[in-house]
Amino acid sequence: MQLKTLLSATAVRQIIGTLDRTVENIAYDSRRVQRNGMFVALRGEKSDGHEFIGQAIEKGASVIVAEREEQNPAQLVLSPRIRAPRSLILQQPFTGTRSAN
């Protein structure tokens, strides 16, 4: 699915890179990231997904959704509240695969 379609109903503060990119899967756990996937860096009670952005990129993530700007070579989408985009992205029709922990 095209990134611009996935983000069409999501509050986005800033996009670094192009919206004309295909996303083949979505992961919230960096260990489950696949090539050409989107990694959503969630902050949890025990860990912060932002700490695993590098690992997600190494596993093939081409799009990162985060609350703050990170130094990395991937596409970056900054969102003011990461929980809202997660629920909105999951509501979008998606022909690829999703992986969540």
Tens digits of pLDDT across the chain (101 residues): 898 888 887 778 888 888 898 999 999 899 999 999 999 888 888 999 999 999 999 999 999 988 888 776 567 787 765 554 455 455 545 545 555 54
φ and ψ at residue 53, rounded to 5 degrees? -60, -45
Tell me the β-bridge partners of 27: 39, 99
Tally the domains of the chain. 1
CATH number at residue 19: 3.40.1390.10
What pLDDT, on a 0 to 100 scale, did the predictor assign at position 14? Answer: 86
Whether residue 22 lies inside any domain: the answer is yes
Whether residue 68 is contained in a domain is answered as yes
Q: For tokens 């050409």, what's the residue?
A: 36
pTM here is 0.76
Q: Which pLDDT score, from 0 to 100, does residue 72 have? A: 65
pLDDT at 87 (0 to 100): 53
Residue 10 lies in a domain: yes
